């Protein structure tokens, strides 16, 4: 490690020297060229030569490629040197932790030996009894030190919990894992907790999945401490059957976790499970519960901005009062990242969901007011409502000043309360502006008049309708007979499937039934197919 660090330092110094020399040579070259030009000009026009004796200026297009490359190499070297220093510091901390553990085992064994010495012998020889931890010439990596740690069989306790909790009036699923590593006398050496993903692919994980993830975390912690012999204690009978190989797991989510446990077990000299009662899972149960509590409870200071949290998208340290928590999954991101995420989804006409990978929790509209403008919150509310209503059920209020979105079933139920015979007549009452309209022809309600008579007497009731019909005629658009939406054929065949699900012929408008045409029009035109090929 020292030789590598020295080599990198020397290379960095040489690069800096080369960069300086290259710059000096370039400047000397520029000066010589300028002097030559001045001498040449002096033979023809002395005035011009005297006025041109100015210091050379680098050409604006002279991009020093070597300088850029040198800078990038120096940055890479600095980054690599920093990584080496961080790794060395981490290894030093680990060596210190192992030495403390080794010293602790030594002191405990010494205390047990002293306790077993009879009082008569202690009174006579106690003053001369000594067993130093390590001689001055020995090192933490000596064979005696290794033998001392390797002779100990450590105990691993783990617990994985999945719980339903109430957070701000909403029921959410939360999972956590707790780990405790003890020596052979159950003295605590290491205690840890970890947040576990409670939702995977939209489904809540089982208790067995959480338990296996906790076990994997415990084994990894033991390997980090370089422990050779461990016994892990399990209070779940089926989990015990899985890890001992007596019962093969059948669930697809459990099989890879059991395999991972088996691979980790092979890295130990000795690693066996032991089935115990729940009350014997020492400290791990409390750690797992603390992990769950930490996900659903935030301290009083969080509302005052005294604590900071790192956003996992931008990796900025943000005041916790500017961190957004997604309802249902409790994944947390800063306002800036959530604002950009939601705005992009809205621009694409999509409902915003949690940015976490494979998380299907939808972003609550009410909570978006913290980082979105009011008009965007309204748009988002409309998007969510539109996505919740199928195309065949959507209906908009025909009054231009309203245009409220409703589903056909809900507006029918609403109208039945105030209008007798609403289903037969086609009359509907808007749930927003409370005006009546016709569900059949999507116009204001025409009492005692059929839809056909109303269209004849109000052919151009709205100037926009006439413009739309003229535009549709000039562009050869077609109108769906079921939902009245305009359809344009850009390329492809004449078999049209509207977004409402209605299928018809683009040429004559005749309905397609069972994926077959009911008319004799040709299905495709060669020009449309050729146009498609050229685009490709």
- Indicate which residues carry an active-site annotation: 493
H or E segment and range at residue 45 = none
Residues 79-102 as b or e (16 or more Cβ within 10 Å = b): eeeeeeeeeeeeeeeeeeebbebb
Q: Are 205 and 198 in contact, with CB atoms under 8 Å apart?
A: yes
Q: With CA atoms as reference, report the closest residue to 211 among 164, 259, 180, 178.
A: 178
How many CA atoms are closer than 13 Å to the CA of 171, on its beta-carbon side? 4
Where do we find the tokens 């790794």?
A: 87
Residues sharing a CB contact under 8 Å with residue 472, sequence separation 6 or more, in sequence order? 478, 479, 486
Distance CA 320, CA 304 (A): 9
- Count Cβ atoms within 10 A of the Cβ of residue 185 and give its class: 0-12 exposed, 13-18 middle, 19 or more buried: exposed
Which ranges of 297-372 would DSSP assign to H, the alpha helix?
A: 335-347
Residues sharing a CB contact under 8 Å with residue 237, sequence separation 6 or more, in sequence order? 275
Rg of the chain's alpha carbons, rounded to an integer?
A: 39
Strand order across the beta sheet in which 436-438 lies? 427-429, 436-438, 443-444
Q: Which tokens sit at 295? A: 């996900």
Q: Which residues on neighbouring strands pair with residue 229, listed in sequence order?
A: 270
């Amino acid at each position: 490690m020292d030789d590598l660090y020295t080599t990198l330092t020397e290379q960095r110094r040489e690069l800096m020297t080369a960069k300086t020399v290259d710059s000096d040579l370039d400047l000397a070259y520029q000066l010589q060229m300028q002097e030559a030009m001045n001498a040449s000009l002096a033979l023809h026009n002395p005035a011009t030569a005297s006025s041109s004796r100015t210091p050379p200026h680098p050409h604006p297009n002279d991009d020093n490629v070597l300088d850029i490359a040198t800078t990038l190499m120096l940055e890479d070297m600095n980054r690599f040197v920093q990584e080496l220093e961080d790794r060395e510091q981490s290894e030093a901390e680990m060596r210190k932790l192992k030495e403390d553990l080794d010293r602790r085992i030594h002191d405990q064994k010494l205390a047990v030996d002293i306790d077993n010495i009879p009082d008569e012998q202690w009174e006579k020889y106690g003053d001369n009894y000594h067993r130093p931890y390590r001689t001055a010439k020995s090192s933490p990596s000596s064979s005696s030190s290794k033998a001392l740690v390797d002779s100990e069989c450590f105990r691993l306790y783990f617990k994985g919990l999945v719980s339903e909790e109430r957070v701000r009036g909403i029921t959410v699923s939360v999972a956590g894992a707790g780990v405790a590593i003890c020596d052979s006398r159950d003295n605590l050496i290491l205690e840890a907790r970890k947040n576990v993903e409670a939702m995977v692919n939209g489904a809540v994980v089982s208790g067995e999945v959480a338990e296996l993830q906790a076990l994997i975390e415990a084994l990894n912690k033991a390997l980090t401490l370089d422990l050779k012999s461990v016994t892990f204690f399990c209070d779940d009978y089926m989990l015990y059957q899985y890890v001992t190989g007596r019962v093969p797991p059948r669930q697809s989510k459990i099989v890879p976790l059991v395999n991972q446990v088996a691979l980790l077990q092979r890295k130990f000299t000795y690693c066996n499970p032991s089935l115990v009662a729940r009350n014997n899972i020492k400290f791990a149960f409390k750690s797992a519960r603390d992990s769950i509590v930490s996900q659903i409870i935030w301290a009083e200071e969080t509302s005052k901005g005294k604590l900071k949290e790192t956003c996992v998208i931008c990796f900025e340290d943000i005041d916790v009062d500017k961190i957004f928590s997604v309802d249902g999954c409790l994944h947390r991101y800063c306002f800036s990242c959530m604002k950009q995420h939601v705005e992009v989804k809205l621009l694409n006409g999509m409902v915003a969901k949690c940015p976490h990978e494979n998380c299907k929790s939808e972003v609550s509209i009410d909570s978006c007011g913290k980082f979105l403008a009011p008009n965007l919150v309204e748009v988002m509310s409309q998007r969510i409502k539109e996505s919740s209503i199928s195309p065949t059920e959507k209906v908009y209020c025909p009054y231009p000043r309203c245009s409220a979105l409703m589903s056909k079933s809900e507006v029918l139920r609403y109208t039945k309360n105030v209008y007798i015979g609403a289903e037969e007549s086609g009359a509907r009452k808007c749930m927003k502006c409370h005006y009546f309209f016709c569900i059949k022809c999507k116009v204001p309600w025409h009492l005692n008049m059929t839809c056909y008579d109303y269209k004849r007497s109000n052919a151009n009731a709205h100037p926009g309708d006439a413009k739309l019909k003229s535009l549709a005629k000039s562009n050869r658009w077609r109108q769906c007979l079921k939902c009245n939406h305009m359809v344009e054929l850009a390329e492809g065949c004449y078999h049209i499937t509207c977004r409402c699900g209605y299928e018809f012929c683009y040429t004559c408008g005749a309905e397609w039934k069972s994926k077959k045409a009911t008319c004799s029009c040709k299905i495709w035109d060669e020009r449309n197919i050729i146009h498609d090929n050229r685009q490709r």
